[in-house]
Chains A and B, each alone.
Chain A
Amino acid sequence: MPEQSSEVTIILISATAVVLFLASLIILSVFISQKRKFRHRQQMDNLKNQFEKEILKTQLEIQTETFESVSKELHDNVSNTISLAMLNLNLLQPGEILPNNKKIEEAKQLMLEAKNSVKDFSWHINPANISKSGLGKSLEELAAKFKNLNTIRFGFQQSGNEFPVIPAHQLIIYRIVQEAVSNAVKHASCREITMGLDYDFPSLTICVKDNGKGFETGEFTTQGQTQKKAGIRNMLSRAKMIEAAIKIESSHGKGTVITLYCTRSAAP
């Protein structure tokens, strides 16, 4: 049999080529899967970085707001109380410095009030206390803080069995609720705001409801309104960070209900 016409050689070459092709496919699939894994890892790292940035941003915002309220509190409350106490003391005549003097007693009372205000306030302004005191207590205090405005009625309701929440998530949830309440106070022209917190392990539902002027929910999704509704956008991006969902129900003249659903915030 002449060598050139051999089918065996063709079969041999073809078999080798097929096996080599299969081997190449194996290697190619390994590289593709490695590339996919690398991309996935990169995405996870980006998400983690974004989450950390958001936490930092939230802490900074809380800090800035805290400084503002410290300034206001010192000016409007503590400073006034101390000024009043000083006025009482300045009004004293040389012969009047006696125990049980009404002006001295009044000044003492005012100084005590100022001291207690400073003490209470210093506790409230510490962001770490949000984590320490728990979400329920923190939201209750937030409601109490807004209640002091006197112009709006505030209600807070908590239901279900309380369970520990991941501290980082707690801070984000607090910030979302704070944003929702601030928006209602600033823009809704409402007379009543109700906050609800429902624990249903491992889910958590927080609801902020006002009876203000409301808005069309489609408004904040359009391009032009994006800037105006930066607050809502922040709330949505923060909710995404903790894998929570936000539902906004509102229409003109019918108030707004913002509901936050957290399913992955229970501390392990």
Chain B
Amino acid sequence: MNFNRDILPFIPLAVLFIAAVVSLRSFKNNFPYYLKAFSVYWCFVFLVDVTGHILIRANITNSNHWLYNTGQMITALFMPWFYFQVIGAGKHKLLLNGLLLVISLALLANTLFLQTLLKLQTNTFAFTGFIVVSLAAVYFWQLSRSEENFVLIRDPLFWINLGLLFYYAATAPFLGMLNYVYNHYPKFTGLYFKIVAYGFSIFLNLCIIIGFLCRNSHQKSPSS
């Protein structure tokens, strides 16, 4: 049994599984609707990842890129919606709908004209990373200006945003260039992927686990 091939990829997957299961506590603990939506989204992320592994391991298909591309497109649409609710901008429905429409068109244009569904859509990864890092920064900026009295480390949103910020900050530059670096430097890419992508994926999922285990279940968004 090869550790790098047969064990290592399953470690972040196992942590992702735990995070997806723990995130379902949002329904039991009556968390705000956007955190419930995040739980559903995180279960979807787990299903995409586990299906991606099965497709390759069981030799069902040669490439699982179409699956990850689809998952990433949904992420690119879900994240702006989620952050609009978190930072209290959900009431600007016109702005949100406009943004989602622009993103959808950009994703469609990318799939049709730039990177097909069968090729790993690194543009989408980079774009999602930019969106998440920017909106997470807005969330933390709001948090630092908020007058509300609460313990930061008991706030589920704090942990989720912390994980997302660091995960996307660390992986967006790399995943955005993945096709290029893989074609030119496959050895380095493999090593870097194992360290950075796996490492920060575990970190993100640990943050999500901690966040959904927090007792401060009814924390309002900092802007409210």
Listed in ascending order, the chain A residues whose CB lies under 8 Å from chain B are 1, 3, 6, 8-9, 12-13, 15-16, 19-20, 22-23, 26-27, 29-31, 33-34, 37, 41
Contact = CB atoms under 8 A, between A and B. Distances in A.
B125 to A, nearest CB: 14
B144 A27 contact: no
14 contacts: A8-B180, A8-B181, A12-B181, A12-B192, A16-B170, A16-B173, A16-B174, A19-B170, A20-B170, A23-B169, A31-B152, A33-B144, A34-B143, A41-B149
A8 B136 CA distance: 28
A27 B165 contact: yes
Given A16-B173, A23-B133, A9 B140 contact: no
Please give me the 10 A-B residue pairs with the lowest Cβ-Cβ distance, nearest first: A33-B144, A23-B169, A19-B169, A15-B173, A3-B185, A30-B144, A30-B140, A26-B140, A23-B165, A16-B173
B181 A20 contact: no
A34 B133 CA distance: 21
Given A12-B177, A20-B166, A29-B144, 10 more contacts: A3-B187, A6-B184, A12-B181, A16-B174, A19-B133, A20-B170, A22-B169, A27-B165, A31-B152, A34-B143
Interface of B: 133, 136-137, 140-141, 143-145, 147, 149, 152, 162, 165-166, 169-170, 172-174, 177, 180-181, 184-185, 187-188, 192, 196
A33 B180 CA distance: 41
Contacts of B180: 8
Nearest to A15: B173
Residue among A19, A20, A22 with the most chain B CB within 10 A? A19
A30 B170 contact: no
Residue among B162, B173, B196 with the most chain A CB within 10 A? B173
B143 A30 contact: yes
A255 B24 CA distance: 78
Contacts of B169: 16, 19-20, 22-23
Interface of A is mostly: helix
A27 B203 CA distance: 15
Contacts of B162: 27
Contact of B173 (A3, A12, A27, A30): A12
A6 B188 contact: yes
B185 A30 contact: no
A14 to B, nearest CB: 9
B166 A23 contact: yes
A8 B184 contact: yes
Nearest to B187: A3
Contacts of A13: 192
A15 B169 CA distance: 9
B184 A34 contact: no
A16 B152 contact: no
Contacts of A6: 184-185, 188
A169 to B, nearest CB: 26
Nearest to B146: A37
A26 B152 contact: no
B133 A9 contact: no
Contacts of A33: 144-145
Contacts of B149: 41
B172 A19 contact: yes
